[in-house]
Structure 1
Amino acid sequence: MTHLPAKTGWLWLKEGFALFRKQPVELSTLFISYMFIMIAIGIVPLLGQVAPLILVPVFSMAFLSASAQVRNGERVFPKLLFVPFRSPAIKALLLLGVLQLATGMLALGASVLVDGGVFWKVISGQTGLDPKVVAESNMGLAILAAALVYLPASMAFWYAAPLVAWQKMGVVKAVFYSFFAVQREFRAFLVYGLAWVAVGVILPTVTSLLLALIFNSASMIVMVMMPLSMLLTVVLYSSFYITYTDVFPVPEQEPVKAAGIDIDV
């Protein structure tokens, strides 16, 4: 089996945009519906703090199935969000969510050892992003330490959900296969990651700065940046599906039906 060329990472991004353009309204509606569900869950005390994180693999399968349907020329409906909850793999998907949450906490724990908890307090909302505090701390190194600790986990979880739901693998086997699949195609994933840094981080930052200089209006920045952020997030899920189909065999049946579920729309 030959390795994918490095430029494939850029093609994944381009094909993600192409997939989104086929049904932009439907995919955007799906994402908005997802956001409303997350807001509703977030209202629940205690549970609302961890449930959205644990449910990431579950809802990622909804977006992957949506991308598969778009590629097959089928219409996408918001009810697709609830399909993974009726999948035989739901327990395994929830277990993946718990494991992802645990490894994320482990990575944050590593950052605490570096900067004494400054980064943790900032991302948890316990304190604001005070430039003076940041300058006097090792927050930059803490972020790097957390990223290095979480990198192997992100490789292990990248394809774990679709391998569990579509290829019917156990959690341990799915994590194993995911890690080595990403490791094998590391050059393509490196280009893919750099492309997303340019499109998902640098582009929005430059756009917000230009809007601030031109309009000097916070409301104008929000009006432009919110739809842009939503679009990029949906494209990210679409490109994720493209990476999967290039690395692993596509199920013989359509993904939703392969899970043993039929949808009436």
Structure 2
Amino acid sequence: MKLHLVPARTGLAWFRAGLRTFWRQPLAFSGLFLLFIAIVSVVSLIPYVGGVLALALLPAATLGFMAATREAASGKFPMPAILLSAFRAGKQRARAMLVLGLAYAVGLALVLGLSALADGGLFARMYLFGGPITAELVDSSAFRNAVWISMALYVPLNMLFWHAPALVHWHDVPPVRSLFFSFVACARNFWAFTLYTLAWSGLSLLVAFGMILLSVLLGQADILGVGLMPVSLLMGAMFITSIWFTFNDSFVVSEETTPTEA
């Protein structure tokens, strides 16, 4: 296995490949995403440890969606059981995935803990438990500082875990090494990931603007509130469908792994 360096324009190819694959089987991917949300919601209700367990499941869930995307890209229909791929590859790899999940939970806890130094934990509580963003919060410099601190720290955390689940599951890379390889791959393909991020951010802003414009034209402010949740879920499902392509192009691991066509 070795790192594959790609040109910046590949980031747009990843974006298009994710959209194209999602819309080949939108019901399948939407159903998988809703199932994932339901599982995390139920797990988070477990007293005392639910929040940690929910976070620890995220790397395994990411791997499940990557496996589903690979199935769909090859013309197959991804079944719901594919979300459990991380735990069906033997005890050793399942254990490694759990280690990865716990490491992610600890990492995110550290990020939120450091942000709490700025605002006393207001942003951290909102992130973990939800709540309305009020005008008072927006006007609070402490709250804004906490948001910026979280964003700055979450980027390297995300880089560490972006490719790690796939490396652990498909290539039996130990958790610590998978984090290192993932970070290096993201850093070396920085411009491709920058364009990839900008493309998804641009689409999100375009969709949000379209919803606001529609509610204004129709004179129905409720449209925005009613449509926000399903549209957000749809965007999340489309985005997570594209992650497999970023991994597939970032590493050369076998003859069957070929770069995404631009």
TM-score normalised to the size of structure 2?
A: 0.86
After TM superposition, the structure 1 stretch with the greater mean CA deviation from structure 2, 81-90 or 174-183, is: 81-90
Q: 228, 231, 234: which is aligned to 1:228? A: 231
SS state at 2:171 partner: coil
Q: 131, 140, 143: which is aligned to 1:139? A: 143
Q: Is the 8 A contact 1:3 1:184 kept in 2?
A: yes
1:155, distance to aligned residue in structure 2 (A): 0.8
Going from structure 1 to structure 2, the CA distance change for 1:237 and 1:134 (only over 3 Å counts) comes to: closer
Instruction: Answer yes or no: is 1:243 the counterpart of 2:246.
Output: yes
Instruction: Answer yes or no: is 1:95 the counterpart of 2:99.
Output: yes
Query: Residue 155 of structure 1 corresponds to which residue in structure 2?
Result: 159
Query: Residue 191 of structure 2 corresponds to which residue in structure 1?
Result: 187
Q: Give 5+ residue unaligned stretches, structure 2.
A: 258-262
Q: 76, 86, 89: which is aligned to 2:88? A: 86
**Amino acid in the other structure paired with 1:80:** I
SS state at 1:46 partner: coil
Going from structure 1 to structure 2, the CA distance change for 1:101 and 1:221 (only over 3 Å counts) comes to: same
Alignment of 1:4-83 (within 5 A): 4-83=6-85
Query: Residue 115 of structure 1 corresponds to which residue in structure 2?
Result: 119
CA deviation vs aligned residue, 1:42-84 (integer Å, no higher than 9, x gap): 3322333222211011111111111111111111111222232
Measured in 2, the distance between the counterparts of 1:126 and 1:242 equals 31
SS state at 1:4 partner: coil
CA deviation vs aligned residue, 1:160-188 (integer Å, no higher than 9, x gap): 00000011100111011101011100011
**Amino acid in the other structure paired with 2:194:** L
Measured in 1, the distance between the counterparts of 2:54 and 2:4 equals 38
Query: Residue 262 of structure 1 corresponds to which residue in structure 2?
Result: none
Name the % identity. 31
SS state at 1:5 partner: coil
1:103, distance to aligned residue in structure 2 (A): 1.2
Q: Give 5+ residue unaligned stretches, structure 1.
A: 255-265
